[in-house]
């Protein structure tokens, strides 16, 4: 009887694993020919009026996590709300006040969304923006609290390009050919 319970338990585990594997495949299976590029280009201006153009921009948290959004706090009549704003939704970030000290690390900021709406609030400046520095020719990161960044203009306005060969999508307007296969990219507009 003891041996039979082991066989039945093993059989149940096997069926559960088979069911989960087949269900997970349906839920998580994306078309293999489509690859999404979550990176953007941005122009950063610092307090000395130095301008940096970074390609493949992302946000690097103090914990070392690469993110494609920033935390933005906005005051309301009911308190402060905090939002994760995708880089694809941002047209411009303008830091309008003094940097706060880590660990809170939020700085007064005006955010302009790609829709044209602007909001006053506070940007999490405890991390870095990183990307390929176009002029210097290598990856760089800019620490938001100590490098005195005044503005960040994101160069994504809903337009993107698609590679007709591998079907990869790119939101970086500086790319003219696919970095994977060299094919000329075709411009598209988001619906």
CA 25 to chain centre: 26
| Structural domain total, the chain | 2
User: How does pLDDT run across 129-188, given as a tens digit for each residue?
Assistant: 998 887 887 889 988 877 688 999 987 655 778 889 888 777 776 788 887 788 999 987
Based on the fold, state whether residues 100 and 16 are members of the same structural domain.
no
d(CA 111, CA 149): 14
Give a yes or no: residue 50 inside a domain.
yes
Q: Which domain holds residue 153?
A: 40-159
Give a yes or no: residue 166 inside a domain.
no
- With pLDDT > 90 as the criterion, what percentage of the chain qualifies? 15
Give a yes or no: residue 170 inside a domain.
no
Cβ-contact 59, 68 below 8 angstroms = yes
Model-level pTM? 0.65
User: How does pLDDT run across 100-112, given as a tens digit for each residue?
Assistant: 655 577 888 999 9
Secondary-structure percent of the chain, ordered helix, strand, coil, rounded to 5: 15, 45, 40
Cα dihedral 25, 28, 29, 32 sign? negative
Give a yes or no: residue 191 inside a domain.
no
Give a yes or no: residue 187 inside a domain.
no
Give a yes or no: residue 150 inside a domain.
yes
User: How does pLDDT run across 31-50, given as a tens digit for each residue?
Assistant: 444 444 556 788 999 888 88
- Lowest model confidence (mean pLDDT) among 10-14, 67-71, 91-95, 124-128: 10-14
Contacts of 184 (CB under 8 A, 6+ apart): 176, 177, 178
Based on the fold, state whether residues 48 and 20 are members of the same structural domain.
no
Closest alpha carbon to 125 in 153, 155, 92, 147: 147
């Amino acid at each position: 009887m003891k041996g039979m319970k082991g066989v039945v338990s093993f059989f149940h585990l096997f069926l559960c694993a088979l069911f989960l594997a087949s269900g997970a495949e349906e839920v998580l299976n994306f078309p293999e020919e489509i690859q999404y590029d979550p990176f953007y280009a941005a122009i950063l201006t610092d307090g000395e009026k130095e301008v940096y153009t970074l390609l493949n921009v992302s946000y690097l948290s103090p914990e070392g996590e690469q993110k494609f959004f920033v935390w933005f706090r906005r005051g309301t009549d009911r308190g402060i709300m905090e939002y994760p704003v995708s880089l694809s939704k941002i047209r411009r970030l303008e830091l309008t006040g003094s940097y706060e000290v880590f660990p809170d690390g939020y700085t007064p900021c005006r955010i302009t969304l790609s829709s044209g709406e602007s909001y006053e609030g506070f940007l999490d400046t405890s991390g870095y923006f990183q990307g390929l520095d176009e002029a210097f020719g290598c990856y760089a990161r800019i620490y938001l609290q100590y490098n005195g960044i005044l503005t960040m203009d994101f160069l994504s306005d809903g337009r993107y390009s698609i590679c007709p060969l591998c079907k990869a999508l790119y939101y970086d307007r500086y790319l003219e050919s696919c970095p994977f296969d060299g094919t000329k990219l075709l411009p598209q507009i988001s619906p």
